[in-house]
C-alpha cells in the first residue's frame, strides 16, 4: 500500500452562472496537477455553479445544465487523478448542495451537504434538502472524509466520518469574509482535529460575488491543530499538500505558511476585491464618481484606483455656490495624487432651471431641505448621464453611518451601481484613509504614498448643501453616533442597554427612529462590500413599514 499521497488544493475564483468557464478553470488546474504527480485535485464548494447562486440554483434548467457540465468534466479528466468539485445535484425534484468526486470518466461519489446554514447571508434551508450523514470516500490509498463547509462547523458530521473510517478530512468551502472570520474558522477546524485525531484540509474559494468577498486563506492542520500549510488571503493559489503514512496515521508535511493580514488591511482588501470582482463579473471596465473634496468620496476614489487602475476612474466635481474653495482644491489634490481624470460640471445652471420650474408651486413656502436635496439629485442626474453616455459604472460613496440613519438623498447622492464603503462606519473611514496613506501592496493598482491629503481627513465633514453646513448640525458627533449604531445595528442592543452604557436616552431614541424610517432608502440603495456580520442587505432584513420602537 502506498505510504505517500499528494492532494492538490485549488483556491480559485469562480463566476456565478459561468458553468463552462468554471469547468475550464478546473480542467486547467487538474492537467497541471496531473503533470506534477497529484493523487487528488480538490476545488471549493459549489465551484461549478459559482457561489452564492441564490435562487438561480432553484431553476431546474440551471441545476441540470450544471450536472451536464460536471459529467463532461469527468469525461475530460478520465486519464489522471480523481477530481473533487462542488455543484448542485438534482434528484427528481429534490435539490442538494453536493460535492462530486470524479474518477475514470464518471462520477464515483457524491457527498451531500448535511448541515445547511440559515443565518446572516445564507438561505440554504430554503434552497436545498439536507443530505444524510455519510461515510468517507475511497481515494487511492486512503479514505477521505468530505464535510462540506458548514458540515465541519458541527462536530457530529466529522465524528461520524471518523467513526466510519475516514483517515483525513477534506473541507471544501465557500466561506465569505467578515472582520474576524479567519480566527473563527481556524478555531472551529482546530476543534475538529482535536475531536477526531485526524488531519484536516480546509479549502476556501476567493473572489467577490455581489456584496460578498471570499477571502481564501486555506490551511492544512495535522491532528490537535498543528498548522502545516497556510495559503494567502484573497489571492488565487494552487498548492500541493503531501501526506505520508506513519504508525499514527496520515500526516501532512510542512509547507509554506502565509501570514494573514491585520484587520485594517483585510477590510481595505475586501473593499478593493469587492469592487474589482463586481466590475469584472458584470462587464464594467471603468467607473466614475462624484468627488466632492470630502473624505468619503476620496476613499472611494482610492479604492477604485486600486481595484481598476487610475486610468479607469473618472472623478467629477459638481460645484454649487455652497462649494468651498477648499473643497475644489481638495478634490483636485485627490485626483492628482491618484492619477485619475477629474472633470468639473457646475450645477448652477440646472439648479436655476429647476428652481424656476418649481417656483409657481413652491410660492409662499420657505426654502429648506427640499431645495438642498434638489442639488444632490441634480448631481445624481448629471453623473448618471455621464455613466450612460460613456459606459462607466457610477459609484456611490455613502458610509455605513450615513446609510444607517438615512443621511443621504435618495435618487441623489445615493444614485449608483455599487458602494465600496457601504459597511464602513465613519470613524473607520478616517482610520482607513490614514492606513492607505501609510501602506501600499502589490495588489493595489493605484500609486503608493499619500493619496488622500491630510486636510481632507482632518476637516469637519459637510454635505455643503447650504452655507456653513456641517454634518454635526444634523447628527451627533460621529464617535458618539457610531458607538450607538454599533449597539443598535451590529449588536442588536436595546435602548436600555445603551443607556446603561452611558449614552443619552433621547439621543439613542432619536438614532433608533432614524434607522427605522430610513429602511426604504436602504431597500433601494446600491449593493456594497460586506465587512461585518451585520451589513445592510442580506445580514439585516427589516420591514419598511414598521411602527415598533423599543419601549425600554
Cβ atoms of 145 and 161 within 8 Å: the answer is yes
H/E element, 315? strand 313-317
Query: Cell numbers 468651498 label which residue?
Result: 324
pLDDT (tens, 9 = 90+) of the chain, 552 residues, equals 579 999 999 999 999 999 999 999 999 999 999 999 999 999 999 999 999 999 999 998 999 999 999 999 999 999 999 999 999 999 999 999 999 999 999 999 999 999 999 999 999 999 999 999 999 999 999 999 999 999 999 999 999 999 999 999 999 999 999 999 999 999 999 999 999 999 999 999 999 999 999 999 999 999 999 999 999 999 999 999 999 999 999 999 999 999 999 999 999 999 999 999 999 999 999 999 999 999 999 999 999 999 999 999 999 999 988 888 999 999 999 999 999 999 999 999 999 999 999 999 999 999 999 999 999 999 999 999 999 999 999 999 999 999 999 999 999 999 999 999 999 999 999 999 999 999 999 999 999 999 999 999 999 887 767 777 777 778 999 999 999 999 999 999 999 999 999 999 999 999 999 999 999 999 999 999 999 999 999 999 999 999 999 999
Residues of the chain with CATH 3.40.50.620: 264-471
| 499: Cβ contacts below 8 Å, ≥ 6 apart | 505, 508
| Grid coordinates given for 164 | 466510519
Q: Of 77, 103, 113, 340, which one is the catalytic site residue?
A: 113
Q: How many CB atoms lie within 10 A of CB 366?
A: 7
In this structure, are residues 316 and 343 in contact, taking their beta carbons and an 8 Å threshold? Answer: yes
C-alpha cell at 178: 467578515
Given this model, what pLDDT does residue 2 score? 75
Candidate list 77, 149, 158, 340, residue with the active-site label: 149
Q: What is the DSSP letter of 132?
A: P
CA dihedral 321, 327, 331, 336 (to 10 degrees): 120
Residue range(s) occupied by CATH 3.60.110.10 in the chain: 4-260
Helix axes 426-438, 295-308, angle to 10 degrees: 50
Task: Please give the class, per CATH, of domain 264-471.
Answer: alpha beta
Instruction: Give the Cα separation of 321 and 353 in Å (integer).
Output: 15
The residue annotated as part of the active site, out of 45, 150, 372, 402, is: 45
Active site residue 400: no
Nearest CA to 168 out of 75, 277, 243 is that of 243
Count Cβ atoms below 10 Å from residue 107 Cβ, excluding itself.
Answer: 16
Cα distance between residue 357 and residue 327, in whole Å: 29
Rg over alpha carbons for the chain, rounded to the nearest Å, is 26
Cα separation, 104 vs 106, whole angstroms: 6
How far apart are the C-alpha atoms of 210 and 96, rounded to whole Å?
23
What is the secondary structure of 166-222 as a DSSP string?
-SEEEEEE--B--TTHHHHHHHHHHHHHHHH---EEEEE-EEEETTEEEEB--EEEE
pLDDT of amino acid 1: 57
433 included as an active-site residue: no
What's the fold here for domain 4-260?
A: Nitrilase/N-carbamoyl-D-aminoacid amidohydrolase (3.60.110)
Whether 315 sits among the annotated catalytic residues: the reply is no
Dist. CA 217–CA 173, nearest whole Å = 11
Helix axis angle for 478-485 and 505-517, nearest 10°, is 70
384, 394 contact by CB (below 8 A): yes
pLDDT of residue 522: 96
Amino acid at each position: 500500500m502506498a505510504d505517500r499521497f499528494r492532494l492538490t488544493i485549488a483556491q480559485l475564483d469562480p463566476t456565478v452562472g459561468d458553468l463552462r468557464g468554471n469547468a475550464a478553470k478546473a480542467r486547467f488546474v487538474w492537467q497541471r496537477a496531473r503533470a506534477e504527480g497529484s493523487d487528488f485535485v480538490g476545488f471549493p464548494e459549489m465551484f461549478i455553479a459559482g457561489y452564492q447562486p441564490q435562487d438561480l440554483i432553484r431553476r431546474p434548467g440551471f441545476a441540470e445544465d450544471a450536472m451536464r457540465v460536471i459529467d463532461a468534466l469527468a469525461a475530460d479528466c478520465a486519464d489522471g487523478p480523481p477530481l473533487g468539485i462542488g455543484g448542485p445535484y438534482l434528484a427528481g425534484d429534490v435539490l442538494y448542495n453536493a460535492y462530486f468526486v470524479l474518477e475514470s470518466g464518471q462520477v464515483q461519489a457524491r457527498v451531500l451537504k448535511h448541515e445547511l446554514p440559515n443565518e446572516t447571508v445564507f438561505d440554504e434551508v430554503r434552497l436545498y434538502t439536507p443530505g444524510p450523514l455519510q461515510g468517507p470516500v475511497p481515494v487511492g490509498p486512503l479514505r477521505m472524509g468530505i464535510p462540506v463547509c458548514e458540515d465541519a462547523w458541527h462536530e457530529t458530521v466529522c465524528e461520524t466520518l471518523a467513526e466510519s473510517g475516514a483517515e483525513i478530512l477534506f473541507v471544501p468551502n465557500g466561506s465569505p469574509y467578515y472582520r474576524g472570520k479567519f480566527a473563527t474558522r481556524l478555531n472551529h477546524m482546530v476543534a475538529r482535529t482535536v475531536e477526531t485525531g485526524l488531519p484536516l484540509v480546509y479549502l476556501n474559494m476567493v473572489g467577490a460575488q455581489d456584496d460578498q468577498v471570499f477571502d481564501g486563506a486555506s490551511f492544512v492542520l495535522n491532528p490537535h491543530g498543528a498548522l502545516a500549510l497556510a495559503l494567502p488571503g484573497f489571492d488565487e493559489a494552487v498548492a500541493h499538500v503531501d501526506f505520508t503514512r506513519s504508525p499514527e496515521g496520515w500526516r501532512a508535511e510542512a509547507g509554506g505558511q502565509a501570514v494573514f493580514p491585520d484587520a485594517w488591511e483585510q477590510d481595505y482588501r475586501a473593499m478593493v476585491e469587492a469592487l474589482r470582482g463586481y466590475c469584472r463579473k458584470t462587464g464594467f471596465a471603468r467607473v466614475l464618481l462624484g468627488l466632492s473634496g470630502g473624505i468619503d468620496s476620496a476613499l472611494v476614489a482610492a479604492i477604485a484606483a486600486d481595484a481598476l487602475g487610475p486610468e479607469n476612474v473618472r472623478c467629477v466635481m459638481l460645484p454649487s455656490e455652497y462649494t468651498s474653495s477648499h473643497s475644489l482644491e481638495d478634490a483636485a489634490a485627490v485626483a492628482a495624487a491618484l492619477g485619475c481624470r477629474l472633470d468639473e460640471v457646475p450645477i448652477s445652471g440646472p439648479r436655476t432651471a429647476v428652481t424656476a420650474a418649481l417656483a409657481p408651486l413652491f410660492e409662499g413656502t420657505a426654502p429648506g431641505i427640499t431645495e438642498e436635496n434638489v442639488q444632490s439629485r441634480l448631481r445624481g442626474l448629471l453623473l448618471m448621464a455621464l455613466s450612460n453616455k460613456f459606459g462607466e459604472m457610477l459609484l456611490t460613496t455613502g458610509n455605513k453611518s450615513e446609510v444607517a440613519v438615512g443621511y443621504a438623498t435618495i435618487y441623489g447622492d445615493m444614485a449608483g451601481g455599487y458602494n465600496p464603503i457601504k459597511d464602513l462606519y465613519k470613524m473607520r473611514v478616517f482610520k482607513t484613509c490614514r492606513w492607505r496613506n501609510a501602506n501600499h501592496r502589490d495588489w493595489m493598482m493605484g500609486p503608493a504614498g499619500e493619496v488622500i491629503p491630510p486636510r481632507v481627513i482632518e476637516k469637519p465633514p459637510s454635505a455643503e448643501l447650504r452655507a456653513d453646513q456641517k454634518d454635526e448640525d444634523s447628527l451627533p458627533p460621529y464617535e458618539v453616533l457610531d458607538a450607538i449604531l454599533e449597539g443598535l445595528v451590529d449588536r442588536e442592543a436595546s435602548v436600555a442597554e445603551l443607556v446603561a452604557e452611558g449614552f443619552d436616552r433621547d439621543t439613542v431614541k432619536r438614532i433608533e427612529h432614524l434607522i427605522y424610517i430610513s429602511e426604504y432608502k436602504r431597500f433601494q440603495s446600491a449593493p456594497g462590500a460586506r465587512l461585518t456580520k451585520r451589513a445592510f442587505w442580506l445580514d439585516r432584513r427589516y420591514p419598511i413599514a414598521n411602527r415598533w420602537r423599543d419601549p425600554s
